[in-house]
Amino acid sequence: MTSTSKDDLTGRAFGSYVLIRRLGRGGMAHVYLAHHKTLDRPVAFKILKPELAVDRAYVARFHREAQAAAALVQANIVQIYEVGEIEGIHFIAQEYVRGQNLRQYLTRHQVVEPILAVSIMRQVGAALNKANEHGVIHRDIKPENIMLAPNGEVKVTDFGLARIADDKRTDLTQIGIAMGTPLYMSPEQAEGHKVDTRSDLYSLGITSWHMLAGRPPFEAETALAIAVQHMKQELPSLQGIRPDLPADLCAVVHRLAEKSPDDRFQTPQLLIRQLRNLDFEDIADWELLTERLAVDETIHAAGAVTIAQTKLEVTRQLESIMRGHFIPWWRSTRMLVCLAFLTLIGAVAGTMFAFLRPPEDPFARQALIDDRVEPLESAQEQYYAALWITDPVQAEQAWKAVQLNFPPYDEKGNEISTHLLYARKADVRLGALYLQTGQFEKAEKVFEELAGLEETEEELRLIGIAGQALVFDHTNETLEVERLLPLLYREIDKIAGFMGDETRALLERYRSNGLEPAQNH
């Protein structure tokens, strides 16, 4: 497989590791999905950026990350397998977690359901408890570093800012870069004071507030301004924003995020104990959420793993040819077919490059090979599967598949209520996708159809009208937005989810410009 850029090492082999595709880039390292040939398992392969590898201090800190994290063997911590250097490449091989991180979940759903939020808090607390036992401080707890696996398991990753509390050697965390993330950083860390496990608990508290409120509690244009708010400004009342939340849960979040470390939970174990005392009666919610998480195995595994394994098989057979090993004719034929297939994909991708943003890894994008997404067991499963898709092109196909695979009406024109429900919900998501990716003409068509629904489907109809207003706002059709303002001001509380949040922001902006209808003053 050819790399899409000169710094992309996809396809390269380092010792027993073959790099399959790039998963992401951080401040210090590039992360790849790799296959460990000897152990025959996927790993996350973290490579120190070349420009940093020339600095001995950075290299020392990079290796120290692995040494700190490798000692933390616990179910809720991403496990380090190996740290080393091959061909001048400094790397860390660690556990590969299928699924998404909490930031990606929030991007899709805006908020985390209370019962799932408590599960995340408990499991992150368990990870911090193990770290505390070893004197390790994470120093950068945030949504991006919290992984949500398909089976509901939560894992904390990236101990890149970890530090051994009783280590008296030179403090490598003070290399000339900002440590931690200002949106979730504790006051004592922002001020440069000594930190301990209670600082990580503060960051978990701010992350939990974000999970439940749908946004971080403190936001500003500069990192310094955010840090000052963490130090000086009172945390907004979570229950004031979400009166539907249990008061006990809100109290736990606020205690985690107290300004003074002495006022917080003193250990992660005390936090876990308090969370266990919370009572949730609606078990059905948890079953629905775990079903949503489990769907990842069906979609991502089918696309990324199956094709990646095909590619690996081809690679292994090519290596056998290079070594002069005999391959039976029936396997050779299969190999040639695979090679031709992969070559065809590459040619098509190259042709379309000027028109569509290509995915990071065509071998992990099954939905782009065939316009029809594989049907699942039900419309509900098809809908929840689509929630996991992050690539815009693939997501469009996945949302369309809800109605394509489960038509809302039978051959006689009779309504299939469950299919229709998820078809409508998929339309909302599809319209939002078009809106977010700047495809305003497509978005307008979707929202226009929703806006034309009958009064009996009031919420969906209002979401359609709100979507139209957002499209008109993006396309600078101010008069069209103003035409819809009276209805939106009057009915905003009936517009659900992320469409409601975006619409409220739009209305607030128009209100500040004096365009609120007189009857609403």
Please tell me which residue, 311 or 423, carries the higher pLDDT value.
Answer: 423
H helices of 353-416, where?
Answer: 366-369, 379-386, 392-405
8 Å CB contact between 471 and 443:
yes
**Nearest residue to 32 (alpha-carbon basis) of 304, 405, 255, 235:** 304
140 annotated active-site: yes
Q: Parallel, antiparallel, or unpaired: how do β-strands 89-95 and 100-101 relate?
A: unpaired
Q: In 97-135, where do the E strands start and end?
A: 100-101
Residue with tokens 């210090």: 28
The reported pLDDT for the residue numbered 504 is 81
As a whole number of angstroms, the distance between CA 271 and CA 374 comes to: 43
Please tell me which residue, 335 or 91, carries the higher pLDDT value.
Answer: 91
The model's pTM is: 0.56
Please tell me which residue, 187 or 162, carries the higher pLDDT value.
Answer: 187
* Cβ within 8 Å of residue 131, ≥6 positions away: 72, 77, 137, 138, 159, 162, 197, 200
**Nearest residue to 159 (alpha-carbon basis) of 175, 137, 132, 144:** 137
**Least confident segment among 157-166, 242-251, 426-435:** 157-166
**Least confident segment among 19-33, 103-117, 301-315, 352-366:** 352-366
For 65, the enclosing helix (H) or strand (E) is helix 56-70
* Cβ within 8 Å of residue 364, ≥6 positions away: 20, 21, 303, 304, 307, 308
User: Which of 8, 40, 55, 140 is the catalytic position?
Assistant: 140
pLDDT tens by residue, 184-224:
999 998 888 889 999 999 999 999 999 999 999 998 878 88
Three-state secondary structure string covering 269-316: HHHHHHHHCCCCCCHHHHHHHHHHHHHHHHHHHHHHHHHHHHHHHHHH
Q: Report the percentage of the chain scoring pLDDT > 90.
A: 27
